[in-house]
Structure 1
């Protein structure tokens, strides 16, 4: 008697693949990719909704090269990064920062929510860190509000003014706001020195180390609060 054969509902993956098409605008080329449908349905709200729709008359979209699903706004490198993560993400490999940024872009556009969060965390941990001006651009483009305040704080408190490249990246309006915020910080803090916010009083009275440390910490806290207030007021952050 032959044993009963049971298809496991969780790990009996259908072999169906899907063709995807993206455009390389610089080279006027279209690139085709072929991926297992399972990954798209598992990880993307966009593709789950797409595949749940009943097919229209004729060929089903994505089943052949001729009917490949077009992904507007996605470039070949971004989709390659997504494929690499889906098929090779469990392996220990060094991923360059540009690949994480590409993965952030494509996962945001195609609603791969968990992959998006993974890319955000990887960019936050990356050493050296992402430049603040570029971080602001990515945060604005991909709706990552938690990146904005630290990046603007770095631009407004560092010794160096905005470079020409940073000004170009941020645009004239934002660059002007950063410039005003920097001027206000320097003015209120004694030209950029945290000690300008009450430093002369930090060592008044008792001169023991504990008291000096406590007063210095108070000065630093006042400085941070002052910078936060200026950034929210000048750059209109929530």
Structure 2
């Protein structure tokens, strides 16, 4: 009898994570196959010679400890591995947790999927949270749009946003907002600073061209301010 590629070994491993808020451990018993299939970290771990890791993860006493992973994050990961093919409601908080654990444990394809979902999720993450996550998990494409939103909106940074960003970065964002408002006249495309960006005869086509020119100039100015005042600390 020939064995097909779906002749899977019934191996399971024990994983342990700590709930820091309650100072207690949480034990998980899961199939090794999914971990080894999707994670570079676990593939390397399980590839170790038997003499080095023969007992790790095989019993509750030798469970593999995953530092800096919360029980909620690991539950989100396992839910995705075991139930990801089924339609189910997944909250934004769960996707954020999945981003964290997939980044830490090198589940690269799950990380890519999670980034894509978060980018198109409605409602979107607040810009300060996007900046924190992008910096922590190396997602550079999230940074400029989030900083642009903070620097061009009417409302200043809230206390909660300042706490999320940290003192130095919050101060730089505040400075960038001031520069954007100063350089654009009234802080918006079409302000005094951009009123002469395009000159035309006043027809519909010229008005549209002027609007596009003003918008392009404004975006370029905002990007320049962000690069000048913020990017140095990233």
Q: Same fold (TM over 0.5)?
A: yes
Query: What stretches of structure 1 of length at least 5 have no aligned partner?
Result: none
Superposition TM-score, scaled by structure 2 size: 0.95
* Residue in 2 that maps onto 1:21: 16
* Residue in 1 that maps onto 2:203: 208
3-state SS in 1 of match to 2:51? coil
* Residue in 1 that maps onto 2:157: 162
Q: CA deviation at 1:39?
A: 0.4
Q: How many Å separate the matches in 2 of 1:229 and 1:54?
A: 53
Q: CA deviation at 1:205?
A: 3.6
* Residue in 1 that maps onto 2:146: 151
Q: CA deviation at 1:181?
A: 0.5
Query: What stretches of structure 2 of length at least 5 have no aligned partner?
Result: none
Q: How many Å separate the matches in 2 of 1:58 and 1:208?
A: 76
Q: How many Å separate the matches in 2 of 1:79 and 1:65?
A: 17
Q: Residues 59 and 67 of structure 1 are in contact (CA less than 8 Å); yes or no, is this contact kept in structure 2? A: no
Q: 1:182 to 1:138 in 2, by over 3 A?
A: same
Q: CA deviation at 1:94?
A: 1.3
Q: CA deviation at 1:6?
A: 1.4
The range that moved more, 56-65 or 102-111, is 56-65
In the alignment, does 2:119 pair up with 1:121?
Answer: no
* Residue in 2 that maps onto 1:236: 231
Q: Residues 82 and 107 of structure 1 are in contact (CA less than 8 Å); yes or no, is this contact kept in structure 2? A: yes
Q: How many Å separate the matches in 1 of 2:143 and 2:76?
A: 25
Task: Map 1:87-236; keep pairs closer than 5 Å.
Answer: 87-196=82-191, 197-200=193-196, 202=198, 204-236=199-231
* Residue in 2 that maps onto 1:6: 2
Q: CA deviation at 1:14?
A: 1.1
Q: How many Å separate the matches in 2 of 1:49 and 1:172?
A: 39
Q: Which has the larger radius of gyration?
A: 1
Task: Map 1:47-86; keep pairs closer than 5 Å.
Answer: 47-56=42-51, 60-86=55-81
Superposed CA RMSD: 1.5
Superposition TM-score, scaled by structure 1 size: 0.94
How many residues matched? Answer: 232
Q: How many Å separate the matches in 2 of 1:60 and 1:51?
A: 11
Q: How many Å separate the matches in 2 of 1:103 and 1:205?
A: 52
